[in-house]
Amino acid sequence: MQRFQNKVVCITGSGSGMGRMAALRFSAEGAIIAGADLNAAGNQETKNLVEATGGTMFTGSAVDLTDASATEAWMNSAVAALGRIDVLYANAGATKFSPIEETTPEEWQWVMKRELDLTYFPVKYAWNALKASRGNIVLVGSTAGMRGSMTNTRVAHSVTKGGTIAMMQQLAAEGAIHGIRANSVSPGMIRTPATEGDLLADNHPMRKIATAIPLQRIGVPEEVVNCTLFLASDEASYVTGVNLPVDGGWSAVLPGFGVI
């Protein structure tokens, strides 16, 4: 079953990681991909992979999604080339972790731009196309936006991901009259090259976090993308305003004594 046959799926951060995986998975289900990334070479590699499996992907030069005018220009070019946008998966993001007393104003603003601005701008400039298609939006939150943490100092990241979840709920409210659905996925601890280098590194207090997760393991990127495809599909046609934790039950329970 190809759930996205001939639909245009716009993916930010498509040059690597979960964005690339999402491009390949949506394409395998019939979607035409519009991908944006600051890393033009990585985005071209994703395009090559999509096309090698018989898919179609629209790309352009590097896109700085923290820049409103650059994001608007890219979105307009995608709509002009492909005629529509049916799904926006706002996957791109970058962050830094630090405790409140060490978070400088400059670092705070750096994280705000790379986790809130680059989510808001693609939504803003895709909105009219999504109204026309009665499409839907999937944002990427995090369990960091749902709960505090005693083992990971992340005040700016917690604020941006809490804001992303709140943005999604407001988009669901404002979009309903236009037939636009909006939801979010909130990954917990996912094993990626980035987390292997910091949160899961041997010297980090979160390295044993699997013992506090009810399913007793770290997640993998495919499990986040699986949930994204569901929320973006017609199978979720009566689902809007929902934040779906993809965290092995981490956010649902209190940890036991001495688990970390």
pLDDT in tens, 103-129: 999 999 999 999 999 999 999 999 999
pLDDT for the residue 144: 87
- The answer to whether 153 and 199 have CB atoms below 8 angstroms apart is no
pLDDT at residue 157 in the model: 93
Query: Token pair of 149, please?
Result: 């943490």
Q: Structure tokens of 214?
A: 């009810």
**What is the structure's pLDDT at 253?**
86
Which among 164, 140, 159 is positioned nearest to 225, based on CA atoms? 140
Task: Tell how far CA 177 is from the center of its chain.
Answer: 24
**Residue 89 β-bridge partners:** 11, 138
In sequence order, which residues have a C-beta less than 8 Å from that of residue 122 and are 6 or more positions away? 10, 12, 36, 65, 71, 75, 88, 90
Rounded mean pLDDT of the chain? 92
pLDDT at 201: 76
Q: pTM score > 0.85 for this model?
A: yes
Dig out the tokens for 165 from the structure: 């979840």
Kindly list the structural domains of the chain, giving each domain's residue range(s) and its CATH number in brackets, ordered by start: 8-187+220-248 (3.40.50.720)
CA atoms of 217 and 162, how far apart (whole Å):
24
How far is it, in rounded angstroms, from Cα 120 to Cα 103?
Answer: 23
Which parts of the chain have pLDDT scores under 50?
Answer: 259-260
CA distance 134 to 175: 9
Tokens of 5: 């046959």
Q: Are 211 and 260 in contact (CB under 8 A)?
A: yes
178 vs 11: CA distance, rounded Å: 21
